[in-house]
A and B are shown apart, each in its own frame.
Chain A
Amino acid sequence: GAVVSQHPSWVICKSGTSVKIECRSLDFQATTMFWYRQFPKQSLMLMATSNEGSKATYEQGVEKDKFLINHASLTLSTLTVTSAHPEDSSFYICSARGGRGEDEQYFGPGTRLTVT
């Protein structure tokens, strides 16, 4: 149990375009989903926290108009990187909470974004 999927697993896009990443909890309802970004050889950086049906809470320094998060249901959250630039190239990982344990977060496999 507690499986989280992400789609796509990797994507290449041109500078200035937008990319949508989906995160799904497959066998549990996720009350809260989180979006992280990780650059090579660096630690996870939390970007935002989203609860189903409400606006996402963004961490300091993360542009909410650039990284649009929608948590439309208890099993689906999406992250849209708008007007992507090469510096947005990174490993984007979602996690979901609300499975077997109260605070445990289960991570999706991640999406590697490359902006050319």
Chain B
Amino acid sequence: QKEVEQNSGPLSVPEGAIASLNCTYSDRVSQSFFWYRQYSGKSPELIMSIYSNGDKEDGRFTAQLNKASQYVSLLIRDSQPSDSATYLCAVAAWGGYNKLIFGAGTRLAVHP
């Protein structure tokens, strides 16, 4: 069974710090990786996608992908209380209309 693993948290960081969220996946042929943010009671919002090994930066967010280690991470710089949410790692399954396999999510709490 294809799996995506995340630490459930909560990950607590002070305001202004770097939050580091990690994710591992089991399917070696996966090609597409995503990070979604979900606030309590709301639907997920896509914040980053990454397809190639290395880093991809977008504002305060950096996604990192290492396919050899089957590892993808999300760094949030200058964390703000508004970043407090659950972060879902998702991996596109190969074939089958590329449905996404979601991790259970990591809850991030940024405290002032």
Contact = CB atoms under 8 A, between A and B. Distances in A.
A93 B100 CA distance: 14
A97 B32 CA distance: 13
Given A49-B96, A97-B98, A103 B32 contact: yes
A103 B92 contact: yes
A83 to B, nearest CB: 26
A106 interface: yes
Interface residues on B, range: 20 to 34
B102 A43 contact: yes
Interface stretch (B19-27, B39-47, B57-65, B69-77): B39-47
- Specify the main secondary structure of chain B where it touches its partner: mixed
Interface in A89-116: 93, 97, 101-110
A44 B44 contact: yes
B102 A103 contact: no
- Specify the main secondary structure of chain A where it touches its partner: strand
A17 interface: no
Given A34-B99, A51-B97, A43 B42 contact: no
Nearest to A59: B99
A57 interface: yes
